[in-house]
Amino acid sequence: MTIASVRIYYWSGDKDLQLKLSQTHWGFSEWFERHLKPIREQLRGPEAKGVNIVNFMLHDNPQHAQRLDEWGIRFNSFEYACAYDLKSLVNTTPLGAPTWRSLVTCFATTCWVALLGTSAHAATGQEAISDAQPTSAARPAGSVDSSKTAEQRITELTHEVDELKTLVLRLQDQVSKLTGAASSSPVAAAPAPQAPLATAAPGVASPAISVARGILDGTTINAMLDGYYEYNLNSPLGRVNNLRAYDVSSNSFSLNQADLVIERAADLATDRRIGLRLDFQFGQATSTLQGNPANELRPEVYRNVFQAYGTYVFPVANGLTVDFGKWSSSLGIEGNYTKDQLNYSRSFWFDYLPFYHMGVRSKLAINDQLALNLWITNGTNQTEAFNNYKDQLYGVVVTPIPALSWTLNYYQGQEHPDVVYLQNPTAVQQNLPNQQGTYILPIANSPNGHLQIIDTYVTWQVLQALTLAAEADYVQQPLYSYSVPDRVEGGAVYLGYQFSTKIAIAARVEYLADIGGLFSGATQYLKEGTLTFDYKPSDGFLMRGEFRRDQSNQRYFIGHTLGFLDTAQPTIGVGLVWWFGQKEGVW
């Protein structure tokens, strides 16, 4: 057996604590992995196949762990879940601290003793937690003393494990005695008519409860409310903010979106290969996403369904994840849910690049550092196809270290419809084909030019409190295959700094050259700068104050007088976001 890597996961009910540990203590996993080199050398051979990854799951709430304090094999990974006081790690360094040293000793020793089962393998386990020792083949002659030292260390670790086992047995015996004493006391033995189920033996559940737990296990129900007030200093007619994705209204208390997210994600840690996700959305954002018949032939059918897809994970490499349905596009660095973004308003690029796709997507995780993406879709922002072409995306995600991630995507498709849907056909048009009462009129000599998107972005967690990100994009699309293509090119740079768990600041600067008017309908060069202040009084509530200035080399932005256009659009606003649910991390 060859151990390829060791991964450590922190699971906490405190999202801030979980994020902090993931950002500061990932280096321990790399240190542990470097010390596995002697293990790979000694175990290499015909037997070195199959399971090659060790996952440690640290839970601050034992009820959230599956198979607590037990080893399990899942595809090509060993899994071990245990209860641990994660708060004790906050003020410790990842390496060298007594807390980590004892944790490593406990984990590594039980790992090799339980899984490998021989003294030679136990020696291998010791090498995983001590300085790397040369293998017997590479050890110079006369190095008997170092070999004896290793054996002595193994003996000491074995004794330590025995002592820990003895301590655990004593604690269990004391708990049993206390439980027996409590049950024999008159107060404890008195009947409790208002809670008859409390007298049932611990761990025993009715069949109906067991079935319900099995169905709902891993299911999260989550909700978010996102609203804002924004003032456009141009005082535009109709209170319209130009070229904004979500903050579209000026001088108005506005409901950006109300969301309900139901998910039962695939989870290899619990042997669950299937998953399901449903995102329902209401508010102004639905009009941005699906309210225009230009991108949805029947927008009313799908208006409130933002995402709906099923998942299956095939046991290939580190997992081949295949989704079918409708999903939020990962073209561009920004996403839909405000709580997961650095700024409140979205960039020009978020507004221009696709919001979602319908089709089949796959992600092949080669290892922890490399993943490949392949999509086949109806098109950009098309739940129903309006031509016979199927778009494709080819992507790669590189994560050399947990703090750094780079994504590169190439998307190509055909976004010109070949039909028009008629809601109120004339008498003659009623002879046309119809779909669920909607009549379909073919477009003669419909455009067939192909859309091409090159999209790349990188995120770097420089420090625990400092995040840097950047995005670059190039898009071109001709009307017909023989036409000269219009194009959009540019990018954005982001900076976020977390002063504390409650206070943060973020900035964004972007540039978009709209050559041919694919984005805005006019050839122009757009720039914008955004400064955002965060105040998070408690988990589940975020207040964001934001100043933003959009600038163009053309008079484009609506002014306060009919027919008057301005070259700039400055806005100032406040966004309020509430959310709750069991889903952890980014939605």
186 versus 103: the higher-pLDDT residue is: 103
Strands 77-83 and 53-59 turn out to be: parallel
In this prediction, residue 37 carries a pLDDT of 47
- Residue 23, exposed/middle/buried by CB under 10 A (0-12, 13-18, 19+)? middle
Of residues 389 and 6, more confidently modeled: 389
Angstrom CA distances, 221 to 142, 218, 279, 312, 584, stand at: 64, 10, 10, 20, 11
Between CA 259 and CA 317 the distance in angstroms is 35
Please tell me which residue, 330 or 100, carries the higher pLDDT value. Answer: 330
Picking from 174-188, 297-311, 338-352, which range would have the lowest pLDDT averaged per residue? 174-188
- What confidence score (pLDDT) does residue 199 get? 37
Confidence of residue 170 (pLDDT cuts 50, 70, 90): low
Confidence of residue 171 (pLDDT cuts 50, 70, 90): low
DSSP per-residue codes, 509-526 = EEEEEEESSTTTSS-EEE
Structure tokens at 527: 């720039």
Residue 356: CB atoms within 10 Å: 22
Identify the H or E element spanning 23: helix 15-24
Where does residue 142 rank: exposed (0-12), middle (13-18), buried (19+ CB within 10 A)?
Answer: exposed
All domains of the chain in start order, with CATH: 5-137+145-163 (no CATH), 221-414+449-580 (2.40.160.10)
Q: What is residue 328's predicted lDDT score, i.e. its pLDDT?
A: 95
Tell me which of 185 and 533 has the higher pLDDT: 533
What are the tokens at 166? 């003895």
Chain segment 25-81, per-residue pLDDT in tens: 554 444 444 544 444 444 443 333 445 567 777 788 877 777 777 776 665 566 777
C-alpha to C-alpha distance for 270 and 75, rounded to whole angstroms: 11
pLDDT tens-digit readout, 455-471: 999 999 999 999 999 99
Evaluated on CA atoms 365, 351, 354, 581, the torsion sign reads: positive
CA distances from 227 to 26, 248, 262, 538 (A): 36, 12, 21, 17
Give every strand in the sheet of 434-435, ordered side by side: 419-422, 438-442, 434-435
Phi, psi (5° rounding) for residue 467? -125, 135
- Please determine, for residue 113, whether its predicted confidence score (pLDDT) is greater than 60: no
Task: Please tell me the predicted confidence (pLDDT) of residue 2.
Answer: 46
Predicted TM-score (pTM) of this structure: 0.65
Q: Residue written as tokens 């943060």?
A: 504
Mean pLDDT of the chain: 79
Task: Please give the residue that has the higher pLDDT: either 44 or 326.
Answer: 326
Tokens describing residue 255? 């409901």
Quickly list H helices, 54-203. 98-115, 119-129, 144-184, 186-189
In whole angstroms, give the CA distance from residue 347 to residue 511. Answer: 10
Angle at 108 between CA 105 and CA 114, to 5 degrees: 125
Between 202 and 580, whose confidence is greater? 580
* 131 — pLDDT class (breaks 50, 70, 90): very low
Rounded to the nearest angstrom, the gap between the alpha carbon of residue 273 and the centroid of all alpha carbons in its chain is 18
pLDDT at 159 over 90: no
Instruction: Give the 3-state secondary structure of residue 571.
Output: strand
Residue reference for tokens 């790669």? 396
* Listed range (413-427, 448-462, 500-514) with the worst mean pLDDT: 413-427
- pLDDT of 213: 59
Q: What is the per-residue pLDDT across 226-255, written as a single tens digit (0 to 9) for each?
A: 999 999 999 999 999 999 999 999 999 999
> And the tokens for 423?
């809601």
